[in-house]
């Protein structure tokens, strides 16, 4: 693949994972609560989407995947608020339980391809690829451009970018409405929310549901794009999301929610570009997780390092005559 092709591929992947970065943003930055459900809700979005797509409803599949993620979030939220279980443990519990549920959704197997057995005109049984949103959109692009070789990654990028833009705008608006502001405030000072006669538990559960719905939506998008669902795909997803959010922050800061939303999407794109560069210099694919973890550590330590450098410099200035 040429350089343009590599960049296009990275950007289309980045867009697909952008809703997940938004979900992580809501959990870690807005609600200020670590949520490990994310690894599981990504996969549940994938699995539900796969099953519904195979049944022949590729658009409904995305919504179903999203709803499944919201339900996973509801479970974690109720564990946190009703049973007062530690947030991290709540997430781990839901994630662990989800593994079984995902396995059942996939019909007792660990992966599922978006295809269906069919009998052709000659009476031979064969596998037919399921119709997906991306397939339809590419057909539309081909029809519009008249180019039969219209780049698949470009088609994926255009469609996903449109969806993500709409999602991000919706989210940005939502956070300035009353329920949205209650969610933000709950992450900022829960006691103050309660004394403002707002049910902070409900705001918290709502926030966790939205967060996981977004993560699951990413899983659903990826499922339709790569045409299969895999039970183990969610491992380390949280770190990927965190890396995206943190990278975005380095470039855009974290002054407002709107800026946070933009930076999470941008972070997801940049993260995929970094990975693409790493692949280009022949990093083996199994090194991705370590790289992701290293990026997060690096980005998280940046403020401390900066402060140390500043202090060192200030010391020197004092010493100098």
Partner 1 sequence: MSSLRLIGLKKTFERGTPNEKLALDNVNLEVEDGDFITVLGSNGAGKSTLFNAILGKFRLDRGRILLGEEDITRQRDFERAYKIGCLYQNPLRGTAPNMTIEENLALAYTRRASKSFFAVNRRDSAYFRELLAELNLGLEDRMKTRMGQLSGGQRQAASLLMATIARPELLLLDEHTAALDPATAEKVQALTERIVAERRLTCLMITHNMQAALTLGTRTIMMHGGRIVYDVKGEERASLTLRDLMDRFRAAAGEELDNDRMLLG
In the bound complex, what is the minimum distance in angstroms from residue 184's beta carbon to partner 1?
7
Greatest CA span in the chain, whole angstroms? 93
- Name the residues that contact partner 1, by CB under 8 A: 176-178, 180-182, 184-185, 188-189, 191-200
Nearer to partner 1, 116 or 194 (CB): 194
H or E stretch including 267? helix 257-280
In the bound complex, what is the minimum distance in angstroms from residue 22's beta carbon to partner 1?
18
Find, among 216, 217, 263, the residue nearest to 243 by Cα: 263
Please measure the distance between the N-terminal and C-terminal CA atoms of the chain and give it in whole angstroms.
59
The per-residue DSSP string of 93-125 comes to HHHHHHHHHHHHHTTSSSEEESEEEEE-TTS-E
In the bound complex, what is the minimum distance in angstroms from residue 175's beta carbon to partner 1?
9
CA–CA gap between residue 148 and residue 279 (Å, rounded): 29
- Name every residue whose Cβ is closer than 8 Å to that of residue 60 and which is 6 or more positions away in sequence: 52
Residue whose token pair is 């295809």: 115
In the bound complex, what is the minimum distance in angstroms from residue 214's beta carbon to partner 1?
21
Find, among 92, 69, 68, 70, the residue nearest to 80 by Cα: 92
Nearer to partner 1, 188 or 311 (CB): 188
Query: Within 10 A of 197 (CB to CB), how many other CB atoms are there?
Result: 6
Residue whose token pair is 């009353």: 178
Q: Provide the 3-class DSSP secondary structure of residue 126.
A: strand
In the bound complex, what is the minimum distance in angstroms from residue 231's beta carbon to partner 1?
38
CA–CA gap between residue 97 and residue 99 (Å, rounded): 5
In the bound complex, what is the minimum distance in angstroms from residue 57's beta carbon to partner 1?
33
CA–CA gap between residue 300 and residue 294 (Å, rounded): 10
CA atoms within 13 A on the CB side of 216: 31
Nearer to partner 1, 73 or 180 (CB): 180
- Name every residue whose Cβ is closer than 8 Å to that of residue 249 and which is 6 or more positions away in sequence: 260, 263, 267, 299
In the bound complex, what is the minimum distance in angstroms from residue 35's beta carbon to partner 1?
19
Nearer to partner 1, 185 or 273 (CB): 185
Nearer to partner 1, 131 or 201 (CB): 201
Nearer to partner 1, 42 or 175 (CB): 175
Nearer to partner 1, 147 or 188 (CB): 188
In the bound complex, what is the minimum distance in angstroms from residue 232's beta carbon to partner 1?
37
Nearer to partner 1, 116 or 254 (CB): 254
């Amino acid at each position: 693949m040429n350089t343009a092709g590599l960049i296009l591929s990275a950007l289309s992947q980045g867009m697909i994972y952008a809703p997940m970065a938004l979900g992580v943003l809501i959990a870690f930055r807005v609600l200020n609560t670590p949520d490990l459900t994310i690894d599981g809700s990504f996969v549940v979005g994938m699995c539900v989407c796969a099953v519904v797509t195979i049944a022949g409803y590729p658009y409904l599949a995305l919504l179903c995947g999203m709803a499944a993620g919201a339900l996973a979030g509801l479970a974690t939220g109720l564990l946190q608020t009703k049973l007062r279980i530690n947030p991290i443990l709540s997430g781990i519990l839901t994630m662990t339980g989800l593994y079984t549920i995902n396995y059942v959704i996939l019909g007792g197997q660990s992966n599922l391809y978006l295809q269906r057995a069919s009998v052709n005109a000659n009476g031979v049984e064969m596998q037919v690829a399921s119709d997906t949103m991306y397939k339809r959109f590419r057909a539309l692009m081909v029809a519009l451009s008249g180019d039969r070789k219209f780049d698949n990654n470009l088609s994926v990028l255009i469609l996903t970018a449109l969806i993500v833009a709409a999602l991000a705008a919706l989210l940005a608006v939502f956070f300035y409405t009353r329920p949205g502001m209650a969610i933000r405030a709950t992450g900022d000072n829960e006691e103050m929310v309660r004394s403002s006669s707002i049910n902070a538990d409900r705001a918290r559960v709502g926030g966790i549901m939205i967060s996981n719905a977004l993560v699951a939506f990413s899983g659903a998008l990826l499922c339709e794009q790569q045409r299969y669902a895999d039970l183990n795909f969610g491992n380390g997803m949280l770190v990927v999301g965190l890396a995206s959010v943190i990278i975005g922050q380095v470039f855009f800061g974290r002054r407002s929610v709107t800026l946070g939303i933009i930076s999470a999407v941008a972070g997801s794109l940049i993260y995929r570009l970094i990975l693409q560069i790493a692949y280009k210099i022949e990093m083996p694919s199994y090194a991705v997780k370590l790289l992701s973890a290293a990026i997060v550590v690096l980005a998280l330590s940046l403020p401390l390092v900066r402060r140390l450098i500043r202090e060192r410099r200030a010391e020197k200035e004092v010493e100098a005559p």
